[in-house]
């Protein structure tokens, strides 16, 4: 492994060797992947939304048993048990808290008072400005190329807007998989890159091999955006199941969502009353209809079917557009090393300024 590094505001903020973030993917970013990314010098992020609070604590301790490097935990700011999860993060001395939705000013303050670095993910300039004003330490900016829930503005358009709008480190996400992408992000003014699909497709990922094979076989045209899973734009691999979902009517979709809500309640140990409270918070936070809130119950269980059980016929596979250009399964150490090596070579090869 090379000793070469690239120091940025991100590496200085969180104490990692390289300006690379492994994102908190539900059912994917567990202790094994997170610790492997951390040991490779990247910032590994543990996904917590799909696990009960007591499992989160044990998962954090498992990561710490595997690495001495800094790592983070991703959580939903609108979850009714967010305060309990924040308590675990603080008590366990986790370095970074990341959020898929903007946390409140009060939540940011509580984490910062405990010495936790707060890094929300955002998809619009105004959201970045808001969380920066509330005290966020950095932001991850995801363009439309990113996997999972995504917007329609390309990273190349969104990223420079956010870099110009805030004075905190900006991490670029959506469309990154190699060192050339890191060099490009740095040129835009970013302090690093965040990747989900690229880390999912590593030998350290616990995703079943059969599922990884489906990703590796995909072309760029096999990655699509649909609203039929949970009512929101969701980027994933196009499969027979996705085609079926897109042909299904509203009544069928809502019935499926009810079944999945029941399954997720059992899986996560969440009560019906807590799920209702979370639904109300989700509806308010994203201005969703009740149908969309109910459809949101589809996502965790459809992802689990593929990412954990290997049932691509019953589950969906969230994927960034980069899935269509990835063709191997390196270890996290190999991946991060070659990204940094290639980024440094790319930057050196640029013509000198006059």
| Tokens read off for 173 | 């996400």
Residue 216 in any domain: the answer is: yes
Alpha-helical (H) ranges within 16-52 are: 31-39
Considering only the C-alpha atoms of the chain, give the largest distance between any 2 of them, rounded to a whole number of Å: 65
**Phi, psi (degrees; rounded to nearest 5) at 40:** -80, -5
Q: What pLDDT shows up at residue 251?
A: 61
Contact 100, 74 (CB under 8 A): yes
pLDDT tens sequence across 29-74: 999 999 999 999 999 999 998 899 999 999 999 999 999 999 999 9
Contact 33, 23 (CB under 8 A): no
**Phi, psi (degrees; rounded to nearest 5) at 240:** -60, -35
For the chain, counts of helices (H) and of strands (E): 16, 11
Exposed/middle/buried for 109, CB within 10 Å: 0-12, 13-18, 19+? Answer: middle
Q: What pLDDT shows up at residue 298?
A: 64
Same-domain check for residues 103 and 39: yes
Same-domain check for residues 242 and 188: no
Q: How many CA atoms lie within 13 A of 63 on its CB side?
A: 31
Alpha-helical (H) ranges within 101-233 are: 105-113, 125-133, 155-165, 179-188, 197-200, 209-217
pTM, rounded to two decimals: 0.90
For the beta sheet containing 223-226, the strands, ordered from the edge strand earlier in sequence to the opposite edge, are 148-149, 234-237, 223-226
Q: How many CA atoms lie within 13 A of 222 on its CB side?
A: 18
Residue 95 in any domain: the answer is: yes
Task: Categorize the per-residue pLDDT at 307 as very low, low, confident or very high, splitting at 50, 70 and 90.
Answer: very high
Dist. CA 326–CA 331, nearest whole Å = 14
Query: Residue 22 pLDDT more than 80?
Result: yes
Q: What pLDDT shows up at residue 269?
A: 57
Same-domain check for residues 316 and 341: no
Residue 156 in any domain: the answer is: yes
At residue 43, the 3 state secondary structure works out as: strand
Query: Residue 255 pLDDT more than 90?
Result: no
| Tokens read off for 123 | 């998809």
- DSSP run (H or E) holding 340: helix 332-349
Same-domain check for residues 218 and 338: no
Same-domain check for residues 264 and 281: yes
More confident residue, 144 or 291: 144
At residue 47, the 3 state secondary structure works out as: strand
Query: Residue 291 pLDDT more than 70?
Result: no
Arithmetic mean of pLDDT, 295-311 = 81
Residue 1 in any domain: the answer is: no
Q: What pLDDT shows up at residue 287?
A: 58
Can you say whether the dihedral through the CA atoms of 65, 66, 69, 75 is positive or negative? negative
Same-domain check for residues 202 and 213: no
Arithmetic mean of pLDDT, 5-26 = 97
**Phi, psi (degrees; rounded to nearest 5) at 4:** -65, 140
Same-domain check for residues 140 and 151: yes
Residue 278 in any domain: the answer is: yes
Q: What pLDDT shows up at residue 274?
A: 57
Q: What pLDDT shows up at residue 278?
A: 54
Same-domain check for residues 139 and 58: yes
pLDDT tens sequence across 165-188: 999 999 999 999 999 999 999 999
Same-domain check for residues 305 and 248: yes
Same-domain check for residues 63 and 160: yes
For position 34, which CATH number holds? Answer: 3.20.20.70
Q: What pLDDT shows up at residue 333?
A: 98
* Percent of the chain predicted with pLDDT > 90: 72
At residue 28, the 3 state secondary structure works out as: coil
Residue 115 in any domain: the answer is: yes
* Residue (of 78, 72, 64) closest to 43 by Cα position: 72
Residue 354 in any domain: the answer is: no
Average pLDDT, the chain: 89
* Residue (of 149, 148, 194, 203) closest to 175 by Cα position: 194
Residue 305 in any domain: the answer is: yes
| Domain total of the chain | 2
Gap between the terminal Cα atoms of the chain: 35
Same-domain check for residues 214 and 96: no
Same-domain check for residues 79 and 46: yes
The boundaries of the domain holding residue 236 are 209-321
61-66: Cβ within 8 A, 24+ apart: 61/92, 62/31, 62/35, 63/31, 63/34, 63/35, 63/38, 64/92, 66/31, 66/32, 66/35, 66/39
């Amino acid at each position: 492994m090379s000793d070469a590094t690239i120091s940025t505001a991100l590496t200085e903020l969180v104490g990692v060797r390289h300006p690379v973030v492994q994102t908190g993917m539900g059912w994917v970013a567990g202790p094994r992947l997170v610790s492997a990314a951390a040991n490779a010098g990247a910032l590994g992020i543990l996904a917590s939304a799909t696990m009960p609070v007591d499992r989160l604590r044990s998962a954090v301790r498992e990561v710490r048993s595997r690495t001495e490097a800094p790592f983070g935990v991703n959580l939903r700011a609108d979850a009714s048990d967010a305060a309990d999860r924040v308590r675990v993060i603080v008590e366990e001395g986790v370095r970074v808290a990341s959020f898929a939705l903007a946390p409140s000013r009060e939540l940011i303050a509580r984490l910062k008072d405990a010495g936790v670095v707060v890094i929300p993910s955002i998809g619009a300039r105004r959201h970045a400005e808001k969380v920066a004003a509330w005290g966020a330490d950095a932001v991850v900016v995801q363009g439309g190329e990113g996997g999972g829930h995504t917007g329609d503005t390309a990273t190349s358009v969104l990223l420079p807007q956010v870099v110009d709008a805030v004075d905190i480190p900006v991490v670029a996400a959506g469309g990154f998989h190699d060192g050339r992408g890191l060099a490009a992000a740095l040129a835009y003014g970013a302090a690093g890159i965040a990747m989900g699909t690229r880390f999912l497709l590593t030998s350290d990922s616990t995703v079943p091999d059969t599922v990884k094979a489906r990703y590796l076989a995909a072309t760029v045209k096999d990655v699509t955006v649909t609203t039929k899973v949970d009512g929101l734009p969701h980027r994933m691999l196009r499969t027979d199941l996705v085609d079926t979902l897109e042909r299904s009517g509203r009544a069928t979709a809502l019935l499926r969502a009810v079944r999945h809500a029941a399954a997720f309640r059992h899986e996560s140990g969440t009560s019906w009353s807590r799920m209702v409270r979370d639904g109300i918070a989700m509806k308010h936070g994203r201005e969703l209809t009740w149908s969309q809130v109910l459809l949101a119950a589809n996502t965790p269980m459809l992802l689990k079917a593929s990412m954990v059980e290997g049932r691509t016929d019953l589950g969906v596979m969230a994927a960034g557009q980069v899935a269509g250009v990835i063709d191997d399964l390196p270890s996290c150490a190999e991946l991060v090393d070659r990204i940094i090596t290639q980024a440094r070579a790319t930057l050196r090869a640029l013509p000198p300024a006059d």
